[in-house]
Structure 1
Amino acid sequence: MSKLRHTDVEVGTEIPERTFTVRRLDLVRYAGASGDFNPIHWNERFAKSVGLPDVIAHGMFTMAQAARLVTDWTGDPGAVVDYSVRFSAPVVVPDDDEGAEIVVGGTVKKKHDDGTVTVALTARSGGAKVLARSTAVVRLA
């Protein structure tokens, strides 16, 4: 994939939505990679005992899916120079073959003179907005 150029985008440029599927197995793998073995991410009984509807995805896993949209769009995983989110709802991951879906999209909100753009991201799962105030500053070629 070729790298996206600063001259290729304008304010209002939309990054097409992508759907990322997350299953319990993905959470187990992520726990192993991240070291976050909190039982709310793998044990349904425990998750429900603390008031959650079911097992939930790691916040950083959810955040990473939104970042994937941007890095795939730019063609350069190193293009993200700043990234911030607020978690607004959990991604509930049922114990079935379908799992949960995270739907992520983005829009260029600002173009900077230094070759970067600010992208506002949206992320939803199960009809709920799961990331709020999610923005990435991205350096383009």
Structure 2
Amino acid sequence: MVFMDQTGAKIGATLWQELFPEFEVMLHCGSAYVIQNIKVVENHSKYKVSRIPFLVYLVKTTSVKEAKHPMIPTNVHVITPFVDIIDGVAPRDTLVNVVGVVVEVIEHKTVNPTYRVTVKLRDNSDGDMILTV
């Protein structure tokens, strides 16, 4: 998960697999919450969602309450143009947000237990990028 505050600052968040069913019903993308009693650890992950060197862990005693009047503006997302990724201008040490239209499905494979799809995406400036997920 990625948590974001009212300024657009992002930090990675995660939880133990056995807590997933409990928190899945409480957290929804795009909503605002007051979250208390978390564990903050150094982020040693190879893939980071932000330059913040920490990671938030939700624990058994974490409290989640939806905010009635979210103070987070709707336009805080920083979308990275494909050309910045291809030219190496986009940050290499963090994940970036991209928006594109699937132009072509190049390949899809089911390899036990994972599923892999390779697509061609096109952004608003007609830049194309091949992406495998």
TM-score normalised over the length of structure 1: 0.22
**Greater RCO between the two (CA within 8 Å, min separation 6)?**
1
Q: Which has the higher strand share?
A: 2
Q: Which has the higher helix share?
A: 1
- Could you say which structure has the larger radius of gyration? 2
